[in-house]
């Protein structure tokens, strides 16, 4: 006989009637398989004695379960778990319990990976000096809406709404190939391009393809945490090299390569993240030379190439790479709006083919309608016109914001005016608690990051990125005035 006395625990002081508690616990034992179908239950008198209950309480519980179909009575034999258990239907929503939540923790174990605990900075209402986002108010929404409508009027509906190429919409890949070849001196065809949902998906796929547990990836110190998370996720060893006013120290990288095998080097040479500095041509050429010499892949993240203000943009590493050592990643999210989840990976065809196979097991294909619409914006010139307009606006905002920082926060913030990009790397006075300041500002209606995500292990840079592109000049003035008030009283 099963140990019913230890399996069933009743609370006679509870509001729920004892016979209902007993019925519920027997029902649970059946549902969990502790009481299998066909199992004979103790007689009512026997179970009452075991549980110190009145026999009528047990009879009432059995009657409840018999009526629900969980038990069946066999004349002259006793009471058994039913051979055909009742269908368990979801309970109707009780609007009086709207505040109730589902379970916070599962009944099974899983590993919480510390490297995935990355702060989330949302675009709240009010003033913001964000991580370096575009101004979504400038996005070509009317043009995009027209392009969306044309999708429903063009070609074969079966082709539109069925499964497509995991590499992405052909029209957009064709247009991107032309655009990248013209503006960045790349040498691509559509077959060299994989469309992804933002550059971080491209980084995830590339790191999954290239890195095995125990292999080494090298990044700058400090670096974008989103990229670091993907490298850690593969089980790779993440090594860091110093970053100075010219970007990654490639001679420090050469020293590492002389001592151990390196599989991948991740760089943001156009505007290093987070410090915004630009890597000069001599370091770029040296990095490419090291790549060929030691056989490591270069993952070049060119997240905001379109926005360079002091001179013509320096061409990407990928434009000077005839040997196929560079995987080039870019995004339209920083060019248009974060909700445009379109990024791209440029690489040799064999790499693109394999990345597309990896992409299929996490995301069968991208947003075909959005990709087509953006392809149309490229084809008819709307997107190029938007980028030119945005470039002029962001250059003016950069100049204005840097003047505000210099005039209003001199002594509080140190910075070097960026050559391009959408943010300023700001180093705060050591006497200012940046986390506390960010909290005070948020309560006053200004959102900016506290910079903790940029700190290397064991260090406090007391620095953060202050994005200027998503704010008008008036909003920038209000933001700096509030920061001045909070830091100087």
Q: What is the pLDDT of residue 246?
A: 93
Q: How many CA atoms lie within 13 A of 179 on its CB side?
A: 26
Q: What is the pLDDT of residue 95?
A: 56
| Rounded Cα distance, 262 and 203, in Å | 17
Q: What is the pLDDT of residue 89?
A: 54
Residue 61 CB contacts under 8 Å (≥ 6 apart), including other chains: 19, 20, 22, 23, 26
- Strand bridging mode 264-267 / 216-221: parallel
Q: What is the pLDDT of residue 413?
A: 95
Q: 67 lies in which domain range?
A: 4-81
Q: What is the pLDDT of residue 488?
A: 83
**Whether residue 336 is found in the same domain as residue 256:** yes
Q: Count the domains in the chain.
A: 3
**Whether residue 466 is found in the same domain as residue 390:** yes
* 148 within domain boundaries: no
**Whether residue 219 is found in the same domain as residue 331:** yes
Residues of the chain scoring pLDDT < 50? none
CA distances from 313 to 19, 266, 281, 297, 335 (A): 78, 20, 11, 23, 15
Supply φ then ψ for residue 266, to 5 degrees.
Answer: -105, 130
What is the SS3 assignment for 427? strand
The counts of H helices and E strands in the chain are: 16, 15
Contacts 24+ apart (CB under 8 A), 65-72: 65/23, 65/26, 65/27, 68/27, 70/26, 70/27, 70/30, 71/41
| Rounded Cα distance, 419 and 405, in Å | 16
Q: How many CA atoms lie within 13 A of 399 on its CB side?
A: 9
Q: How many CA atoms lie within 13 A of 110 on its CB side?
A: 7
Domain end marker among 359, 381, 403: 381
**Whether residue 224 is found in the same domain as residue 282:** yes
The domain that contains 15 carries what CATH number? 1.10.10.10
What's the pTM? Answer: 0.77
**Whether residue 317 is found in the same domain as residue 416:** no
Average pLDDT, the chain: 89
**Whether residue 399 is found in the same domain as residue 371:** no
Least Cα distance to 351 among 233, 200, 188, 230 occurs for: 188
* 71 within domain boundaries: yes
**Whether residue 477 is found in the same domain as residue 372:** no
Q: For the chain, how big is the Rg over CA atoms in Å?
A: 31
């Amino acid at each position: 006989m099963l140990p019913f006395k230890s399996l069933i625990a009743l609370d006679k002081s509870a509001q729920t009637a004892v016979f209902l508690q007993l019925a519920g616990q027997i029902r649970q034992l059946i549902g969990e398989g502790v009481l299998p179908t066909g199992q004979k239950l103790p007689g009512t008198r026997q179970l009452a004695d075991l549980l110190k209950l009145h026999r009528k309480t047990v009879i009432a519980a059995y009657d409840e379960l018999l009526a629900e179909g969980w038990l069946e009575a066999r004349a002259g034999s006793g009471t058994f778990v039913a051979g055909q258990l009742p269908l368990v239907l979801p309970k109707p929503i009780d609007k009086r319990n709207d505040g109730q939540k589902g379970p916070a923790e599962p009944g099974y174990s899983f590993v919480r990976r510390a490297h995935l605990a990355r702060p989330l900075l949302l675009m709240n209402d009010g003033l913001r000096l964000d991580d370096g986002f575009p101004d979504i108010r400038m996005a070509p929404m009317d043009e995009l809406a027209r392009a969306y409508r044309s999708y429903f009027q063009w070609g074969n509906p079966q082709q539109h709404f069925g499964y497509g190429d995991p590499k992405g919409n052909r029209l957009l890949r064709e247009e991107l190939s032309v655009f990248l070849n013209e503006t960045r001196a790349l040498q691509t065809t559509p077959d060299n391009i994989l469309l992804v949902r933002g550059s971080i998906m491209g980084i995830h796929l590339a790191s999954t393809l290239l890195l095995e547990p125990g292999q080494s990836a090298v990044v700058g110190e400090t670096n974008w945490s989103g990229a670091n998370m993907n490298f850690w996720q593969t089980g790779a060893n993440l090594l860091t090299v110093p970053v100075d006013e010219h970007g990654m120290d490639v001679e420090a990288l050469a020293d590492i390569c002389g001592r151990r095998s390196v599989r991948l080097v991740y760089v943001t040479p156009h505007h290093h993240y987070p410090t915004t500095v630009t890597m000069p041509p001599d370091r770029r050429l040296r990095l490419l030379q090291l790549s060929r010499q030691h056989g490591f892949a270069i993952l070049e993240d060119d997240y905001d190439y379109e926005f360079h203000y002091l001179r013509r943009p320096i061409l990407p590493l990928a434009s000077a790479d005839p040997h196929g050592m560079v995987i080039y990643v870019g995004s339209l999210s920083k060019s248009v709006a974060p909700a445009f989840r379109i990024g791209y990976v440029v690489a040799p065809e064999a790499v693109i083919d394999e990345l597309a196979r990896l992409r299929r097991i996490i995301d069968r294909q991208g947003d075909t309608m959005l990709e087509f619409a953006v392809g149309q914006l490229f084809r008819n010139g709307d997107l190029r016109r938007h980028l030119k307009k945005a470039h002029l606006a962001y250059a003016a905002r950069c100049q204005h914001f840097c003047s505000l920082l210099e005039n209003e926060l001199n002594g509080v913030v140190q910075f070097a005016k960026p050559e391009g990009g959408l943010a300023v790397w700001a180093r705060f006075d050591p006497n200012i608690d940046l986390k506390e300041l960010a909290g005070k500002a948020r309560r006053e209606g200004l959102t900016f990051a506290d910079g903790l995500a940029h700190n290397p292990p064991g260090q406090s840079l007391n620095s953060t990125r202050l994005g200027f592109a998503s704010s008008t000049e008036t909003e920038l003035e209000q933001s700096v005035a509030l920061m001045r008030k909070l830091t100087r009283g």
